[in-house]
Amino acid sequence: MQSETQAGPVSKRMLWTGRIISALPVLLFVTTGIFGLLKPAAAMQGAAHYGFPDGVLLRVTIVEIGCAILYVIPRTAVLGAILLTGYLGGAVVTHVRVGEPFFIPVIVGIMVWAGLYLRDARVRELIPLRRNTA
């Protein structure tokens, strides 16, 4: 079986594990993106709590959704993962700045790359966790 990018063989089990792991952060980004678009009171209070001025929530939401879309498309998944890493880095800084725990964005970032690693042979070639000794 070929991977989604056709870069090399990947087992069906590894591909589906990668897809499932990748789907979890995407669901998180879609959920928070919907909140950002609908602008309920809780989202507006959260933005104010983190020090974001009025009107910036829509722009941040568009960036978040755009990065998640790039991550879902196999041809642009690596670019999407890089952009989501930057986005999550901003989330880490935001949490640190207000004195809150920052492990959630770090875990989401790990899931983004773990899912991509499992479903994309090109990433496994770039980041070999173990080398063949043949």
Q: Is the pLDDT of residue 60 over 70?
A: yes
The residue with greater pLDDT, 10 or 18, is 18
Confirm if 56 and 66 have CB atoms less than 8 A apart.
no
**Dihedrals φ, ψ of 2, to 5°?**
-90, 150
pLDDT over 90 (residue 107): yes
pLDDT in tens, 19-48: 999 999 999 999 999 988 998 898 889 889
Give the count of beta carbons closer than 10 Å to the beta carbon of residue 45. Answer: 10
pLDDT at residue 3 tops 50: no
pLDDT, position 39: 86
What global pTM score does this model have?
0.85
